[in-house]
Amino acid sequence: MIHAEFRCADALHEFAQAYLPAAVGAGGRYNGSLGRPMYFVRGDGPRLTALNGKEYLDFNLSHGATILGYNHPVTRQAIEQALDLGIIAACETEYVARLAALVCRAVPCAEMVRFATSGMEATALAIRIARAATGRERILRFEGHFHGFHNDVMFNASGPAWPGPAPIPARPDSAGLPRSAADLVLVLPWNDLGALERAFVRHGDAIAAAICEPINYNSGCIPADREFLAALRALTERHGGVLIFDEVLSAFRTGPDCAQGYYGILPDLCAIAKGIANGAPIALVAGRRDLMRLLSPLGPVAHSGTYTDHLFGILAGLACLEELTKPGAYPPMLAVADRLYRGLNDALAHHGVPGRVQGLGIRFGLFFGIEKEVRCYRDAAARDVEMWHRFVRGCVERGVYFQSIGHAIGHHGISFAHTAADIDWALERMDDVIRGLAGGR
């Protein structure tokens, strides 16, 4: 039931501005292309309904967390079960161990699991385990890879790309970080094998962990070169460091075995969050048994939380993972995704608008103004931002929703609820928008 005063988005926006910075509950909800947030009232399948009742086919999907689609019956049942159980939190239940077992069956590197509540908590914990295991502090990370909002990793994930040679000077992505945090990160360009090898020659024995998005969806969609990822694996191992795959976004996009299964390259630890519980809040760290056994109360690495293992997330995770691991679940979705990527690339070519779609699995990036393959953040950052904003505004007018997260490049995707017919419907509208872009509209 919408409060009568807020039937108009302008009224809600004005009200929210008085109490929420920028009228949003999280920075990522502001839509940079629209210059304000969109207000939605509900979601069903692949669609969101806005405050004024207009429906949008959604290509954001809770920043990727809604993998099965909104209001999915198995997720509803799971949350209802959690309600029936009395919303017990901070209690151990059978469901936690059952979900951990399911994760260990699906995710190749997972021998043991520790749950967390957000992706940022999971990457922070993985880094803490790595530092404890190695007795080292330095973290190797890659420009344009996003690992959450904690102090260890908030460097060079967004903003201007470094124009010079590697290594890349650590540049904080936020005010308020301790100056000393920058001394603990080493930043490299993605897919640059030479820079990687040189960095390990100089710093290899000081590196506690290398952390990466094996498919760098946060810069659109920049897959790792297989040779590069294999070298990262081999070098970390050779120098006694821990390899962390941040699969918060890449998990379950290419298949139930995540990006690590897609590449056949296993990290020591991985962080997983979005996509595992179809929008319910849950995250996890999984990996090598010896590393996971460092966690308290077994080992010296402290970690706990009142809401850790919350049954909303755990039960939704069990339900969602059962869907994702059903035989034959992925090929139809991958075909729908492919239809979208081919259709969009065809529309760009047909109307002579420079740009390209890079998609892998069920998430993708859209880069206006770029025609050659985007292989690293510097390539991606050269995109035509103004054209992107015009595209988003045109799509929103026509009932197709894309989220623009501030100055970040962002990523888009489909859910298991998107059908070929939905894609054709959206392509018709996007074609119209792209035709307008060609005509300078």
Ligand X SMILES: Cc1ncc(COP(=O)(O)O)c(C=O)c1O
Distance CA 136, CA 206 (A): 6
- Binding of residue 119 to ligand X (CB under 6 A): yes
Six-digit token pair at 266?
Answer: 């296993």
When the beta carbons of 127 and 430 are compared against ligand X, the nearer one is 127
Q: Which of residues 243-272 bind ligand X (CB under 6 A)?
A: 246, 248-249
- Binding of residue 218 to ligand X (CB under 6 A): yes
Cβ atoms of 242 and 208 closer than 8 Å:
yes
In this chain, which of 33, 60, 75, 118 binds ligand X, going by CB under 6 A?
118
Cβ atoms of 125 and 153 closer than 8 Å:
no
Cβ atoms of 39 and 50 closer than 8 Å:
yes
**Could you tell me the smallest distance in angstroms from the CB atom of residue 4 to ligand X?**
33
**Could you tell me the smallest distance in angstroms from the CB atom of residue 141 to ligand X?**
11
Which three-class secondary structure state does DSSP give residue 433?
Answer: helix
**Could you tell me the smallest distance in angstroms from the CB atom of residue 116 to ligand X?**
9
The contacts of residue 98 (CB under 8 Å, 6+ apart) are: 318
- Binding of residue 158 to ligand X (CB under 6 A): no
Cβ atoms of 145 and 219 closer than 8 Å:
yes
- Binding of residue 213 to ligand X (CB under 6 A): yes
When the beta carbons of 215 and 423 are compared against ligand X, the nearer one is 215
- Binding of residue 152 to ligand X (CB under 6 A): no
Six-digit token pair at 438?
Answer: 């060609």
Residue 359: closest CA among 382, 336, 381, 378: 336
When the beta carbons of 281 and 354 are compared against ligand X, the nearer one is 281
Residue 242: closest CA among 137, 117, 390, 395: 137
- Binding of residue 361 to ligand X (CB under 6 A): no
Q: Which residues of 386-408 are buried (b: 16+ CB within 10 A; e: fewer)?
A: ebbbbbbbbbbebebbbbbbeeb
**Could you tell me the smallest distance in angstroms from the CB atom of residue 10 to ligand X?**
29
- Binding of residue 146 to ligand X (CB under 6 A): yes
**Could you tell me the smallest distance in angstroms from the CB atom of residue 221 to ligand X?**
12
HSE-CB at 128 with a 13 A cutoff on CA atoms is 19
When the beta carbons of 259 and 347 are compared against ligand X, the nearer one is 259
**Could you tell me the smallest distance in angstroms from the CB atom of residue 336 to ligand X?**
22
Q: Which residues of 131-160 are buried (b: 16+ CB within 10 A; e: fewer)?
A: bbbbebbbbbbbbbbbbbbbbbbbbbbbbe
Which three-class secondary structure state does DSSP give residue 20?
Answer: coil
Six-digit token pair at 10?
Answer: 């302008």
Stretch that binds ligand X, among 141-149, 331-339, 385-393, 418-426 (CB under 6 A): 141-149
When the beta carbons of 126 and 427 are compared against ligand X, the nearer one is 126
**Could you tell me the smallest distance in angstroms from the CB atom of residue 170 to ligand X?**
18
**Could you tell me the smallest distance in angstroms from the CB atom of residue 28 to ligand X?**
7
When the beta carbons of 390 and 412 are compared against ligand X, the nearer one is 412
- Binding of residue 222 to ligand X (CB under 6 A): no
Stretch that binds ligand X, among 54-62, 179-187, 242-250, 357-365 (CB under 6 A): 242-250
Helix/strand/coil percentages in the chain, nearest 5: 40, 20, 40
Distance CA 428, CA 424 (A): 6
Stretch that binds ligand X, among 42-50, 112-120, 133-141, 167-175 (CB under 6 A): 112-120
User: Cβ-closest residue to ligand X?
Assistant: 119
Using CB under 6 A as the binding criterion, the count of chain residues that bind ligand X stands at: 14
- Binding of residue 288 to ligand X (CB under 6 A): no
- Binding of residue 285 to ligand X (CB under 6 A): no
- Residue 382 backbone phi and psi in degrees, to 5: -80, 5
Stretch that binds ligand X, among 51-59, 115-123, 369-377, 420-428 (CB under 6 A): 115-123
Q: Which of residues 15-74 bind ligand X (CB under 6 A)?
A: 63
Helix pair 311-324, 94-106: axis angle to 10 deg: 30
- Binding of residue 134 to ligand X (CB under 6 A): no
Cβ atoms of 243 and 280 closer than 8 Å:
no
Stretch that binds ligand X, among 92-100, 118-126, 261-269, 305-313 (CB under 6 A): 118-126
The residues of the shown chain that bind ligand X, judged by CB under 6 A, are 63, 118-120, 123, 146-148, 213, 218, 246, 248-249, 273
